[in-house]
């Protein structure tokens, strides 16, 4: 694909042909590109753990990537996310002539899959991957609510899923309603006493970004049934969505 495209935020992305040296600053996008357009990744963050055998240069973290290292890799496209990456880093890369495609922080599973489709069909100029079609089929339905859950994503301080989040919508599509879906913020920081008062059914504890474990998490919510889940299944938009559907449907 060549010519001027626009990313999810409406910013121009000038590409000269289909990108072949891509640096991804988002773990889930790294996995999606590695699986769907193999051989095109030139770099990724230290937190890009999938595919497990991925062997590319590392450029630091998502929030604070080593931009000089990114520039040294001479990418013809950098992939970023509006929630995970800082605008000043995106602007510095663009100021150095590097095209950057920023994916908007998705508020739902369909929105994330639609954004991924644009990356592959427009930026890469390839057919939509089979896993994406299958993920759309699996996550299309919204079943009746079976459980209500508090979903912490961090501790010290406590941070939970709030309104309009990808993970909240994903849980709703396996019958679990987010207890903070009506919050004013996407990631509110309520006091523990309030969380405990709301956690009367389930408390869903992912292993990332904070690594909740059987010893660190469930004990704070004595009135709720704890469910430890893969953070990758809960928050990554990419090929993992296919296996995540069965795993999360059976988790409750």
At 4 the pLDDT is 75
Q: Where are the CATH 3.40.50.1980 domain residues in the chain? A: 3-137, 147-249
147-249 CATH: 3.40.50.1980
- pLDDT of 2 over the 70 cut: no
174 exposed, middle or buried (CB, 10 Å; 0-12, 13-18, 19+)? buried
- pLDDT of 30 over the 60 cut: yes
CB 80 within 8 A of CB 56: no
Per the rule left: phi > 0, alpha: psi between -120 and 50, beta: everything else, 142 is beta
CB 175 within 8 A of CB 193: no
pLDDT tens per residue, range 186-216: 999 999 999 999 999 999 999 999 999 999 9
Check: CATH 3.40.50.1980 for 3-137?
yes
Report the pLDDT averaged over residues 1-6: 70
């Amino acid at each position: 694909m060549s010519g001027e495209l626009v990313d999810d935020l409406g910013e121009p992305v000038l590409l000269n042909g289909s990108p072949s040296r891509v640096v991804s600053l988002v773990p889930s996008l790294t996995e999606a590109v590695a699986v769907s357009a193999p051989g095109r990744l030139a770099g990724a963050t230290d937190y890009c753990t999938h595919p497990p055998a991925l062997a590319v240069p590392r450029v630091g973290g998502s929030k604070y990537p080593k931009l000089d290292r990114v520039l040294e890799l001479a990418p013809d496209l950098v992939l970023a996310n509006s929630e995970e990456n800082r605008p000043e880093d995106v602007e510095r890369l663009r100021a150095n002539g590097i095209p950057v495609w920023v994916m908007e922080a998705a508020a739902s599973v369909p929105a994330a899959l639609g954004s991924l489709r644009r990356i592959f069909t427009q930026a890469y100029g390839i057919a939509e991957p089979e896993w994406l079609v299958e993920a759309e089929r699996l996550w299309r339905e919204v079943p009746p609510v079976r459980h209500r859950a508090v979903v912490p994503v961090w501790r010290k301080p406590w941070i939970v899923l709030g309104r309009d989040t990808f993970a909240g919508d994903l849980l709703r599509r396996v019958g679990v309603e987010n207890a903070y879906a009506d919050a004013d913020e996407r990631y509110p920081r309520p006091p523990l006493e309030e969380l405990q008062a709301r956690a009367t059914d389930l408390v869903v504890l992912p292993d990332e970004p904070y690594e909740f474990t059987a010893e660190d998490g469930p004990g704070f919510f004595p009135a709720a049934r704890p469910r430890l889940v893969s953070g990758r299944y809960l928050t990554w938009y990419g090929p993992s969505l296919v296996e995540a559907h069965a795993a999360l449907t059976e988790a409750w």
